Amino acid sequence: MAKVAVTGAKGLIGSAVAAGLVARGHSVLALGRGAGNAVTLDLTERQLPALPPIDALIHCAGVTDEEVKADRDAAMVRAVSGTERLIAAAAAAGARRMVYVSSAHVYGALSGHIDETMPANPLSDYALAHYLAEQIFRRHAAATRILRPCAVFGPLAELQRFRRWSLIPFSFPRAIAESGVIRILGTGRDRRNFVGTDVVAALAVDFIEMQINGVTLLNPVGTADLTVAEFAELCARLGGDLLGRSCRVEIAGKGDTAAPPLEYRSVMGGQRNGRSLETHIVELVRQCSQLGATA
Amino acid sequence: MAKVAVTGAKGLIGSAVAAGLVARGHSVLALGRGAGNAVTLDLTERQLPALPPIDALIHCAGVTDEEVKADRDAAMVRAVSGTERLIAAAAAAGARRMVYVSSAHVYGALSGHIDETMPANPLSDYALAHYLAEQIFRRHAAATRILRPCAVFGPLAELQRFRRWSLIPFSFPRAIAESGVIRILGTGRDRRNFVGTDVVAALAVDFIEMQINGVTLLNPVGTADLTVAEFAELCARLGGDLLGRSCRVEIAGKGDTAAPPLEYRSVMGGQRNGRSLETHIVELVRQCSQLGATA
């Protein structure tokens, strides 16, 4: 049984990781800025507090798209120096196994066949920040698994505190609950692999229990491969059934998508069954509509 | 004949690029912080001045190791936001062809066979900063050549103003001139490809005159492949002959170097003859000893 430090333990992926660790008999040391963490810690500070003894680190608080858009320079600095300080603090506390939750965007444009043998080609600011953090882990050279999920979905404990509504697994169900209409600005033909936080968490916890060393990449691949428009139609259909009203999808973008469709795959064993995308949609539409009703 | 904006035009590589452009009939718009530039411009500033009309940009003022060591966070920010602002200003002024002088360190550890087909693996802060700048050029997607030289040598117009004495092509000849002794802290068995600024400059100017588009990598490969110890011995021998005194090399590091020796190559046409490393050593020892005599 391991003692595992988890950053972002109150967040979307971190909460699933913390639950997954506890379910398998491990103990969790929650690290983060907010109240309710075992150790209060801000990766933008130059000096981090010493951590109590731990066996492993799972870093689920990498940069978010929102953070990058708000202050790109600060996000880059946190990705480099914040990650380095976090790794140093974890290593000093005894952590010998580490997991970093990165992003599929590190591969570059999300089109065509992508597996772990493909070279990285981070182009967006968001992708660059995740790539920087990956490389900081890589040079530390502890036993490390880097996970690069694509479109992550999962249950939200507290809807009101969630800050990442720009992600379509969340914004589309909410749009159905609030207005019955999903508006897509592009053509909606981009394909995404939708993966549950339970799958990402399982692959993170697996690695804590493994013996393999070195820094390795893993694509957590969910069972749902849909275009953005197909996902929207699924939200409209399931949400409409649940709410008993007619819902619809409006697509503003015209023309063909030139890029080949995404085939997001793993050659390293990252395929895993988990909570279904349909369950996620229904639950989230229900939560959002109840919130709207009580607001 | 093209009008070409050159950053770092007073620096080691930039001065060779500017000379190379003029020798081929192009005109140079020197951009930089110091006096003597046609446009005064600081890449750490949020707003750059508008540039007069240009055809191309050659960016020779990427981050230096000294800059990274002085303030790593600031160097990363300049590599991302400074590069983006520079590209935007150059593109707005009409630049359609661009060259970025990066570093072989972007490939990762300088050992084993390295050519342009190898994936990047930037690990040091210095390498990460150059990689960031490369990716900013890559996403701009103009016709761009990225050069990744290894150990660069070349003539210095003003020894007193040179700030990069931590580079061994400069520190070793200076040590011979000043003390007759080169002290190597490691084993000296690391191999380097030594390439002249004239070769780097020729490959940069070539690209301005080409028609090919897209973002492509090129390794500028010099004719001298030496270990650090071999280079030191060469400096001691040539410098000793010139100065008429006995010079020596002291190697502090013990043991075998585990890494396979560097084979720095180009499969994209980056091999080029140029000024010899021997000429560089003799000239620099002469300059340094004259400076010492008059100081």
The DSSP code sequence of A37-96 is -SEE--TTSSSPPPPPP-SEEEE-----HHHHHH-HHHHHHIIIIIHHHHHHHHHHTT--
Least confident interval from A81-90, A204-213, A258-267, B207-216: A258-267
Domain boundaries, chain A: 3-152+193-218, 156-192+224-294
Interface check for B91 against chain A (CB to CB < 8 A): the answer is no
Q: What is the pLDDT of residue A255?
A: 77
Q: How many CB pairs under 8 A join A and B?
A: 45
* A73 neighbourhood in chain B, CB within 8 Å: 77, 80-81
Interface check for B118 against chain A (CB to CB < 8 A): the answer is no
Confidence class for position A295, pLDDT limits 50, 70, 90 = low
Nearest CB partner across the interface for B135, out of A119, A122, A135: A122
Please give the backbone phi and psi of residue B10, each rounded to the nearest 5 degrees, phi first. -95, -5
Angle between helices A125-140 and A83-92 (to 10 degrees): 30
Q: What is the mean pLDDT of residues A169-197?
A: 96
Strands B224-227 and B191-196: antiparallel
Interface check for A72 against chain B (CB to CB < 8 A): the answer is yes
Provide the shortest C-alpha distance from residue B153 to chain A (in Å).
28
Interface check for B132 against chain A (CB to CB < 8 A): the answer is yes
Nearest CB partner across the interface for B77, out of A77, A123, A138: A77
Given a contact cutoff of 8 angstroms between Cβ atoms, the answer to whether B232 and B182 are in contact is yes
Beta bridge partners of A7: A31, A59
Q: What is the pLDDT of residue B137?
A: 98
Cβ of A139 within 8 Å of Cβ of B120? The answer is: no
pLDDT tens digit string along A70-128? 999 999 999 999 999 999 999 999 999 999 999 999 999 999 999 999 999 999 999 99
- First vs last C-alpha separation in chain A: 43
Cβ of B132 within 8 Å of Cβ of A132? The answer is: yes
**Residue of A130, A132, A144 to mutate, testing the B interface (most B Cβ within 10 Å of its Cβ):** A132
User: Residues A30, A34, A35, CA angle at the centre, nearest 5°?
Assistant: 80
Interface check for B245 against chain A (CB to CB < 8 A): the answer is no
Provide the shortest C-alpha distance from residue B135 to chain A (in Å).
6
Given a contact cutoff of 8 angstroms between Cβ atoms, the answer to whether A106 and A134 are in contact is yes
Please give the backbone phi and psi of residue B43, each rounded to the nearest 5 degrees, phi first. -70, -10
Q: What is the mean pLDDT of residues A262-287?
A: 96
Q: Which fold has domain A3-152+193-218?
A: Rossmann fold (3.40.50)
Q: Which CATH number fits domain B3-152+194-218: 3.30.465.10, 3.90.110.10, 3.40.50.300, 3.40.50.720?
A: 3.40.50.720
Cβ of A120 within 8 Å of Cβ of B124? The answer is: no
Q: What is the mean pLDDT of residues A190-212?
A: 97
Q: What is the pLDDT of residue A190?
A: 92
Cβ neighbourhood burial of B53 (10 Å; 0-12, 13-18, 19+):
exposed
* A135 neighbourhood in chain B, CB within 8 Å: 121-123, 128
Q: Which is more confident, A292 or B207? A: B207
Interface check for B37 against chain A (CB to CB < 8 A): the answer is no
Tell me which architecture the domain covering A156-192+224-294 has in CATH: Alpha-Beta Complex (3.90)
Q: What is the DSSP letter of A226?
A: E
**H helix count then E strand count, chain A:** 9, 14
Alpha carbons B114 and B149: distance in angstroms, whole number: 12
Provide the shortest C-alpha distance from residue A105 to chain B (in Å).
13
Interface check for B122 against chain A (CB to CB < 8 A): the answer is yes
* B122 neighbourhood in chain A, CB within 8 Å: 135
Alpha carbons A155 and A124: distance in angstroms, whole number: 27
Please give the backbone phi and psi of residue A120, each rounded to the nearest 5 degrees, phi first. -65, 150
Q: What is the pLDDT of residue A53?
A: 98
- The kind and range of the H/E element at A21 are helix A12-23
* B69 neighbourhood in chain A, CB within 8 Å: none
Interface check for B80 against chain A (CB to CB < 8 A): the answer is yes
How confident is the prediction along chain B (295 residues), in pLDDT tens digits per residue? 999 999 999 999 999 999 999 999 999 999 998 888 999 999 999 899 999 999 999 999 999 999 999 999 999 999 999 999 999 999 999 999 999 999 999 999 999 999 999 999 999 999 999 999 999 999 999 999 999 999 999 999 888 889 899 899 999 999 999 999 999 999 999 999 999 999 999 999 999 999 999 999 999 999 999 999 999 999 999 999 999 999 999 999 887 766 788 999 999 999 999 999 999 999 999 999 987 766 5
Q: What is the pLDDT of residue B258?
A: 65
* B76 neighbourhood in chain A, CB within 8 Å: 76-77, 80, 132
Interface check for B121 against chain A (CB to CB < 8 A): the answer is yes
Task: Reduce the DSSP state of residue A152 to 3 states and report it.
Answer: strand
Alpha carbons A19 and A224: distance in angstroms, whole number: 23
Domain B155-192+224-264+274-294's class? alpha beta
Residue B130 to residues A103, A141, A265, B108, B127, Cα–Cα distance (Å): 22, 21, 30, 12, 5
Interface check for B128 against chain A (CB to CB < 8 A): the answer is yes
Residue with tokens 């690391």: B190
Q: What is the pLDDT of residue B197?
A: 98
